[in-house]
Amino acid sequence: MSERKYFGTDGIRGLVGQYPITPDFVMKLGYAAGKVLAGQGTKKVLIGKDTRISGYMLESALEAGFSAAGIDVGLLGPMPTPGIAYLTKTFRAEAGVVISASHNPFYDNGIKFFSNSGEKLPDDVEQAIEAQLDKPMGCVDSAKLGKATRINDAAGRYIEFCKSNFPSQSSLKELTIVVDCAHGATYHIAPNVFRELGATVIEIGTAPNGTNINDGCGATSMDAISKAVVEHNADLGIALDGDGDRIMMVDHTGYVIDGDEIIYIIACNDLTSGRKDGGVVGTLMSNMGLELAFEALDIEFARSKVGDRHVMELLREKGWQLGAENSGHVINLNHTSTGDGIIAALNVLTAVTKQKKSLHALRQGITMLPQLLVNVRFSGENNPLKDADVLAAVAEVNEILTGRGRVLLRKSGTEPLIRVMVEGPDLDEVTLLANKIADVVKCVK
């Protein structure tokens, strides 16, 4: 695959007001995408967004670009990323566009696309859009301009879809649940899903103002929901990120349950139901404890590169249905075409109600190994991952941890960082070894 100029691993993302997240570029992106999609017979796309203040500006720019290319636009308003993927399919639109920077702060934003199957756009289509972006922007004849309509029942449609993924004979009426929506795209959806299924819902992070998305709340900042669950004597907590495709949970003690433990609970419940859809895909960052737990259950486990796109690719390759990142991207192809935080929560709640066990009890079969991640910023010309001293330090630590743990070094996909991860049975040892490697990485110029 050729080098990308604009698209990263998850669309186009950056600081609002700085290239490429500017009104003029985004309008041209809408036009370029429209021209490419029109060539495939597309006449309609859907656009949804999260709650960032910049969403208004970028939505208008995209709408203008698509219209200039002769593409009709359906405006969904604030909607979770997986909700946009779902509605793209149900409206028979040829593409869905998401305006979001997911778990990032409000001053970042991004654009990503879904195909008509509710999955990420194929690489060849993204490459065609990039090629079109390098050409001058034009405009179709006035009579052929695209029209825009607002889809007012988008939230209600997605709420009903989510509820349909919970067993019809079950209810959440015995549960008190804290739901943290990160002041993001699920603020008007997630609490209603769980409430309409019978739960007593305590809301936090459901008052977006355009700038408070992901600010000290949601799946990337779990202190608030852990505290709320304990204070309200709730049964559990569900924390989503700004665009609703990531989930973390909290048991009644305030203990944080990440994507590794969530996918373990879902896979185990499938096993007790007599359904075994092949193995489970994790990533290079998945805890070794997850691998050992699946080994004990005779469930196959495979690791992909980090990123939900890579998890999906490996699931398709192996013909499996379940995959997750420990950061909370959980994919269950039995229910959805992409990572969906609300659906993942309902999958876990299905296990809670069916097995009549608490969330705390359901995670007892997995023992997570201490895992430490150290981020090291680099600015030199040399690649630290190929430096001889770094390679020697990694080899030394790997030898120390043989059979007991592992080491992983990787570059961040969005920042000039080397992520040093070490895991093993003893936290003090892991901390010492991770910092030992990080100190060597810092010396690379």
Annotated binding site for Mg(2+): 102, 241, 243, 245
- What stretches of 271-361 adopt beta strand conformation (E)? 280-283, 301-304, 322-324, 330-332
Residue among 102, 115, 221, 286 flagged as catalytic: 102
Sheet holding 44-49, edge to edge: 12-15, 108-115, 95-99, 44-49, 72-78, 148-150
CA distance 411 to 387: 13
Burial 56-91 (b: 16+ CB within 10 A, else e): ebbbbbbbbbbbbbbbbbbbbbbbbbbbbbbbbbeb
Residue 413's φ and ψ, nearest 5 degrees, are -85, -10
The DSSP bridge partners found for residue 115 are 95
Closest CA to 334 of 325, 342, 344, 326: 344
**Cβ burial, residue 41 (10 Å; 0-12/13-18/19+):** exposed
Tokens of 190: 């997630």
d(CA 279, CA 191): 32
According to DSSP H, which parts of 8-102 are helical? 23-38, 54-68, 81-90
Sheet of 200-204: strand order equals: 200-204, 176-180, 236-240, 247-251, 256-257
Query: CA 17, 85, 115 angle in degrees (round to 5)?
Result: 85
| Separation between Cα atoms, residue 345 and residue 323, nearest integer Å | 14
- CA 314 – CA 323 distance, rounded (Å): 9
Contact at 8 Å (CB) between 82 and 312?
A: no
Look up 337 and say whether it is catalytic: no
One-letter amino acid at 343 equals I
What amino acid positions are annotated as catalytic residues?
Answer: 102
